[in-house]
Amino acid sequence: MNKPLISIIVPVYNVENYLDECIQTVLAQTYSNWELLLINDGSTDSSGTICDDYAKSDERIYIKHIKKSKGVSEARNTGLSLAKGEYITFLDSDDGIREDFLETCLTTAIQHEVDIVIGHFFIWDERNHTFYYFVEQAQKDQTEFLTVQEALDRQVVWKNLNTAPFVIPCGKLFKASLFDTLRFPKNKRYEDEYTIHKTFLKAKQIALIHSEFYMYRRHGQSFMTTDFNLKTSMNNIEALEERIVDLVLAKKDTELVRQKLYNVLLHTKHELEVHQCSDSLEYLRVLNKLELFSE
């Protein structure tokens, strides 16, 4: 097997308590031809110094400092502009990857001419010191090859399993050319919902490896909240609408995404009413969209 360069893009923002462990999981990889792009997005803690120290100790590690924080999408986009690899993967700076992640995914990509290799993840919740796993034991370590439509559908529903492996950018190995004309949207929540389906539409073949390669960490600073946020909800609606348009243009089935959008609209309508926002422009927009479903 030839050994192409893999670019690992890591947005960094105020993660001094977790960054060292994250980088150590990269250094422990059984595949060694990688470059680690640490994009320091205006951190105000010691994260930038930690990045500098690692960049001095290993020539495969590069650091880009952004003076003022611009958000995770801009950081990832900066990494994409700097990446030199034939393949790309994304890693959040408070998470980690299993030592065989790069080698296993790359072997699958090369041997089967796959453009995207998707791995499972597990959750480490440090608040209650509990691991959560999602791989069905009957399929553990097996590789499944998917059509583009199957991958798109699993972004919405996947039996009784967590659909996150098909939505988030992390825990995947992408052919770098998929991002030649693609970037993450600026100043948007649900940036994953705007972006990952577009890589699926560009791919010729997609593989899913039923192994937990990616560790997602839950902690007190994680973006995990049930509080209603109007901008976030409207971003979610906008992202789903954009996905429907993309699927129509690509002549793919949209029924599952349309059903998801309908459910999100109903939920947003309810939340706006509960929070006494029935006189808002956003509420009228939601009602208008729901009327389209009933016609």
pLDDT in tens, 117-153: 999 999 989 888 888 887 777 688 899 999 999 999 9
Residue 128 near residue 219 (C-beta atoms within 8 A): no
Q: What is the pLDDT of residue 70?
A: 95
C-alpha Rg value of the chain to the nearest Å:
20
Give the domain 6-218 fold.
Spore Coat Polysaccharide Biosynthesis Protein SpsA; Chain A (3.90.550)
pLDDT tens column, 60-69 = 999 999 999 9
Residue 101 near residue 119 (C-beta atoms within 8 A): yes
Share above pLDDT 90 across residues of the chain, in percent, rounded to a whole number? 82
pTM of the predicted structure, to 2 decimals: 0.93
Q: What is the pLDDT of residue 221?
A: 59
* 38: Cα separation from own chain's centroid: 17
Q: What is the pLDDT of residue 224?
A: 47
CA angle 57, 222, 258 (to 5 degrees): 115
Residue 227: which pLDDT band, with cuts at 50, 70 and 90? low
* Residues whose CB falls within 8 Å of the CB of residue 8, separated by 6 or more in sequence, listed in order: 26, 34, 35, 36, 37, 88, 89, 90, 91
Q: Where are the domains of the chain?
A: 6-218, 230-294
